[in-house]
Amino acid sequence: DAGVIQSPRHEVTEMGQEVTLRCKPISGHDYLFWYRQTMMRGLELLIYFNNNVPIDDSGMPEDRFSAKMPNASFSTLKIQPSEPRDSAVYFCASSLQTITGELFFGEGSRLTVL
Amino acid sequence: KQEVTQIPAALSVPEGENLVLNCSFTDSAIYNLQWFRQDPGKGLTSLLLIQSSQREQTSGRLNASLDKSSGRSTLYIAASQPGDSATYLCAVNGNTGNQFYFGTGTSLTVIP
C-alpha cells in the first residue's frame, strides 16, 4: 500500500485566498484524522471521520475551516479565507477499525500564508 | 484534559550509546500509547503501539515500556546510530476512545 497520500506538499498563498488540502487514506482504514502542527502548539487534532462521517470537529479553530470526506478514499480540508496565523504543517492520518488503533500519517502539507 | 510531557526536549549522544527517552502523562486512564519518529520535513512514522494491558513492546533495537499507574512510558534505543537522529513523539489515547494527545517530542542527535 502507498500509505496516506497528501497534496500539495507545499502551498504558499496570500492572506484572504482559499486553500484546499487533500488526503487519500490507506485503503480499508475506517478512520481519518486531520492534524495541524506548529512549533508553538505541537500537534493538534482538528477533525476526524469514521466511515466518511465527521465525528468530532471540536478542534477546528474557526468557521473559516471546513472538512469533507465524500468517499472512503478522499478527504479535503479547506480554509477560506486564509490568514497568516494558519501557517502550519497539516497532516492527515488514518487508522484501521478504531479510533484507538495505530495511526498512520501522511507526509503533510506545509502551508504558508503571506 | 490529558497533558503529555516529553523530557528532555533535545538530546545529543555519541554513536553506539544506549539511550532512554521519557514520556509522562497526567491521566493514567489511557487506552493505549504510541511512539512515533518524525524526520525533518516528513510525516510521523509509527514505531511502537502499547495497549493499556501491556507493559512493553519491542521492535528491533527499540523497546517501549508503559507504567500506567505512574503515568510514564520510556523508549529505549539500543546501540544508537546516526540514522536514529530524528524527533521522537509519544501520544496517548484515553479509555473513552477520545483523540490521541501528543507530546512535543524529543529531538535526538546521534553523533558519528
Q: What is the pLDDT along chain B (112 residues), one digit of tens a residue?
A: 788 999 999 999 999 999 999 999 998 888 889 999 999 989 999 999 998 889 999 999 999 999 999 999 999 999 999 999 999 999 998 766 557 889 999 999 999 9
pLDDT of residue B111: 97
Q: Mean pLDDT for chain A?
A: 93
DSSP state, residue B82: G
Q: Does A108 touch chain B (CB under 8 A)?
A: yes
pLDDT of residue A102: 85
Return the closest-CA partner of residue A110 out of A79, A88, A93. A88
A chain contacts of residue B36, beta-carbon cutoff 8 Å: 103, 105
Phi/psi class of residue A108: alpha, beta or left (left: φ > 0; alpha: ψ in -120 to 50)? Answer: left
pLDDT of residue B65: 97
What would the grid cell of residue B105 be? 517530542
Minimal C-alpha gap between A5 and chain B (Å): 11
Residues 11-30 of A with CB under 8 A from B: none
pLDDT of residue B30: 86
Minimal C-alpha gap between B23 and chain A (Å): 15
Mean pLDDT in residue range A13-30? 96
Q: Which residue has the higher pLDDT, B98 or A44?
A: A44
pLDDT digits (tens, 9 = 90+) for A65-74: 999 999 999 9
Chain B contacts to A (CB-CB under 8 A)? 31-32, 34, 36, 41-46, 49, 89, 91, 93, 97-100, 102-105
What are the C-alpha distances in Å from B31 to residues A54, B26, B62? 22, 14, 21
